Amino acid sequence: MSGTEDTLRGRRILVVEDEYMIADELTEALEEAGAEVVGPVARVGRALDLARGERDIAGALLDVSLGGEMVWPVLDTLTERGVPAVLVTGFDAGVVPPAYARLPRCEKPVAAQDLLRTLAREIRG
């Protein structure tokens, strides 16, 4: 078993992604690593509901732009809860506000396994 699978096994991971194929690929990769997927969701409002209401979220993969709406309110909620997150985006680093510049950011296209490794590192701290 890889370090990524060791870290993600049994953990609840929030997936926020509005591109169906990417969300499906991430869900499948997370489940194969033994994680429980919360979502995936494609809208900021629904993502906020889950970020606020779901218990025991261990980490999150967040698409930065959901149908043109930015994910920052979701990230604010997760940060307040101490939930590590990885930003996934097709935008350059200039789109990310300075408050989130320290967070790992993976540019699309990116392999699901690379995202999982990055998330596992964040969860391990």
For residue 84, count other CB atoms closer than 10 A to its CB. 19
47-106 residue pLDDT tens: 999 999 999 999 999 999 999 999 999 999 999 999 999 999 988 888 899 999 999 999
Task: Tell me what the pLDDT averaged over the chain comes to.
Answer: 94
Residue 116 has pLDDT above 90, yes or no: yes
Q: Return d(Cα 26, Cα 18) in angstroms, integer.
A: 12
Reading the block at residue 85, the tokens are 């997150």
Q: In the prediction, which pLDDT does 90 show?
A: 85
Q: In the prediction, which pLDDT does 43 show?
A: 97
CATH 3.40.190.10 fits 3-124, yes or no: no
Q: Which residues is 65 bridged to in the sheet? A: 70
Q: In the prediction, which pLDDT does 93 show?
A: 81
| 31 vs 1 pLDDT, higher one | 31
Residue 1 has pLDDT above 70, yes or no: no
The runs of H, that is alpha helices, within 40-84 are: 44-53, 72-80
